[in-house]
Structure 1
Amino acid sequence: MLAGFAMLMASASFAHADGELHIYNWGNYTSPELIKKFETKYNVKVTITDYDSNDTALAKVRQGGTGFDIAVPSQSHLPIWIKEGLIQETDPGKMENAKNISPEWANPDFDPGRKYSVPWQWGSVGVVVNTDVYKGPADSWGILFDPPEELKGKINIVPEMSDVVFAAIAYNGGKLCETDKAILKKARDTLVKAKPNWVAMEYNTIEKMTAGDFAATSDWNGSALRQRLAKPNIHYFYPKEGITFWSDNVVVLKEAKNVENAKLFQNFIMDPENAAMISAFARYSNGIAGSDKFMPADMKGAPELNPPADVKAKAEFMRLCDPATQDLYTKIWTELQK
């Protein structure tokens, strides 16, 4: 009897936690409503620090002493976090709400059995165009790399290396993790030649596309949906040469000080209603079954979230290549930064 009472008290204290939680996440990507709900339910004060790329996040966490409990790496980089021992094996696949993970996301090759990570959101990378500025066909990476006159000097490139280099390779007939030197040279030449037509390489696309500072950009589909909802003449296009899908995932850092609160958060976001809050804010799909019924009506059937069958058939899931190939891509990227 006493043992049962002790277990009940332990369970109650876990359900009514207090203290802090420090989240390290992509900028403009975390629902304030979700955070407020979590803080109220568990009496936990949450702080959020933004980053702008997978490489930035990985470099910061590698340094140690961050003070963060949680990060949200993409599946392309997650194997590195696991291999380098940067995160804890919290076994979210065995948590109470893990039953809500959609089957296609329950046992991914980047984290078999979900030993480390919880689905956050997933999406694609494509081309976004202000169709008041350019009214022609835009279903090609050529919009960014060999642009029509109307768009020259008005193009932005989101500076996520893997996305940009893949786009240039695909535009030249290559595939993900391409090693053909002739194709890689064409991709490099394409990027260098295109750069004078770009006005910027930055992440701040939602504000600058809707303000008219940019007329076209490479971008993620959820960002594009937010832009269209703010300004209906902005549209997302799937390049015919090929696109990539990606997913972001919530992990607990090895150096986390608030581990139990971090685990609470992992379980919390696998609840369908809470997952819907995440998607309603950033406008991406998530990996939690049953969340659709809580989504805003304007997300249902949105073209940004529903690629055509032929596009899906050609799409590749973004991953990092072997070190030698990745080095070649880094050299292309470094030259582009000059």
Structure 2
Amino acid sequence: MKLHSIAFATLAFAVSTTVASAEGKLSIYNWGNYTSPELITKFEKEYDVDVTITDFDSNDTALAKIRQGYTGFDVVVPSQSFMPIYIGEGLIAETNPGQMENGKNIAEDWANPDFDPGRKYSVPWLWYTSGVTVNTEDYDGDVNTWGLLLDPPESLKGKINIVPEMNDIMYAAIRYSGGDWCSNDKALLKKVHTLLKDAKQYWASIDYSGIEKIGTGDIAASLDWSGSALKRRLGNPKIAFGFPKEGFTYGSDNIVVLKDAPNMENAKLFQNFLMDPENAALNSAYTRYPAAIEGAEDFYPDDMKGAPELSIPEAVRSNGELLRLCDPDTTALYGRIWLDIQK
């Protein structure tokens, strides 16, 4: 992004004065086990700010909490599919991170996303792809298909975990059934419902923690995300991650500032801080998810550089789709199917 020199000089002065006077507190509401302690310590020491972190376990949980208002949180980290809700309902402040001192470091692919054109509200936290993680000791065939979870081979039956994220599993089932995401075609959804009902008998768990059991013998395959899959492989080289040929999603989590943030200036400061490549890399090194910040890869640990889980192969890139929320009526239809599957 090109900035007029006068505007940039004014912004640089504003940032420098904010940094000089920064003190007090910052309250972060984020996914569990998703924030580098080293990153937080560095921010606290550099700016004399005391940071507290509260965890949530799903986008729906976080949104429900934020909608209540006056939470005491300064920033929250929603996925891109939920960003239109936060913006549309006026829950977050227009902090213009794309124009901050470090805004120039946002990677080109993420600098002007449809969910936040020009990055008026958000800073990319980390980005990810969805897929299938498999223990190849249990299955040594093609891992690039949702069929491993939805129509599994004999060796995987009873050893499958599904993360309890409705949009992810519904996307997998719809694409595996030959449909398009956000379709509300009755015949398609009936097929999807039957597919999931039949598949459930082969699932050992519907649980986030089930991912961590891959390779222990209890779980051999799971719906998963790229950084998580890399963590599993680093613990067990027999673990592989597949990009389903039927279609897979990619997306990012994003840090935004709440409109009623008690520590608004410190929250803005934290947004700018995260767009520094070295700081962004601290989060990546901790979570094993890639940063959407140019130059961050230079600071990655060696086991992240060239990791197959973190780079979408060119041959399947066209199968990827930025996950978005469907319209309320379609989402409600999906919700009823998912609720029935969880019974």
Q: Using the aligned pairs only, state the percent identity.
A: 62
CA displacement at 1:310 relative to structure 2: 2.7
Instruction: Look up the match of 1:65.
Output: 70
Q: Match for residue 3 of structure 1?
A: none
**Whole-Å separation in 1 of the counterparts to 2:91 and 2:15:** 29
1:71-113 Cα deviation digits (max 9, x unpaired)? 0111111010011111111111111100111122111111111
User: Within the alignment, does 1:116 sit opposite 2:138 as a pair?
Assistant: no
Other structure's SS at 1:299 match = coil
Counterpart of 2:194 in structure 1 is 189
- For 2:310 and 2:160, the matched residues in 1 are separated by 23
The alpha-carbon distance between structure 1 residues 110 and 25, as it changes in their structure 2 partners (threshold 3 A), is same
**What's 1:74 paired with?**
79
Aligned length: 332
2:193 counterpart letter in structure 1: R
Determine which of 34, 57, 61 is the counterpart of 1:56: 61
How does 1:42-191 map onto structure 2 within 5 Å? 42-191=47-196
Cα distance per residue 1:104-152 (max 9 Å; x no partner): 2111111111111001111110000111122232221111111122211
Give, as a single letter, the amino acid of the residue that structure 2 aligns with 1:55.
Answer: D
Report runs of 4+ in structure 1 exceeding 4 Å deviation.
7-13
- Equivalent AA in structure 2 for residue 68 of structure 1: F
The aligned counterpart of 1:250 is: 255
Cα distance in 1 for residues equivalent to 2:27 and 2:111: 26
Q: Give the corresponding residue for 2:227.
A: 222
Amino acid at match of 2:164: P
How far apart are residue 317 of structure 1 and its match?
A: 0.6
Structure 2 residue corresponding to 1:285, chosen from 285, 290, 298:
290
Taking structure 2 as the reference length, what is the TM-score of the superposition? 0.93
Post-superposition Cα deviations, 1:184-204, rounded to whole Å, max 9, x if no partner, equal 111111111111211111112
Kindly indicate whether the alpha-carbon contact (under 8 Å) linking 2:18 and 2:265 is maintained by their aligned counterparts in 1: no
Question: For residue 266 of structure 1, what is the amino acid of its counterpart?
Answer: Q
Alignment of 1:14-33 (within 5 A): 14-33=19-38
Whether the 8 Å contact between 1:252 and 1:263 is mirrored in structure 2 is: yes
What is the CA–CA distance in structure 2 between the aligned matches of 1:9 and 1:288, rounded to whole Å? Answer: 22
The answer as to whether partners of 1:121 and 1:284 remain within 8 angstroms in 2 is yes
The SS at the match of 1:77 is: helix
Task: Report the AA paired with residue 114 of structure 1.
Answer: R
Whole-angstrom CA distance in 1 between matches of 2:291 and 2:43: 18
- Offset of residue 10 of structure 1: 9.4
Selected match of 1:261 from 263, 266, 269: 266
Equivalent of 2:307, from 288, 302, 306?
A: 302
C-alpha separation in 2, matches of 1:324 and 1:205: 31
Q: What TM-score do the two structures reach when normalised by structure 1?
A: 0.94
Cα displacement (A) at 1:65: 3.0
Q: Judge conservation of contact 1:206–1:226 (CA < 8 Å) in 2.
A: no
Read off the aligned partner of 1:208 and give its amino acid letter.
K
TM-aligned CA distance change 1:212 to 1:252, over 3 Å: farther
The CA distance in 1 between the partners of 2:177 and 2:40, in whole Å, is 43
SS at match of 1:235: strand
Counterparts of 1:292 and 1:165, CA distance in 2: 32
Distance in structure 2 (CA, Å) of the matches to 1:309 and 1:151: 28
Write the distance in 1 (CA, Å) between the matches of 2:210 and 2:276: 30
RMSD (CA atoms): 1.7
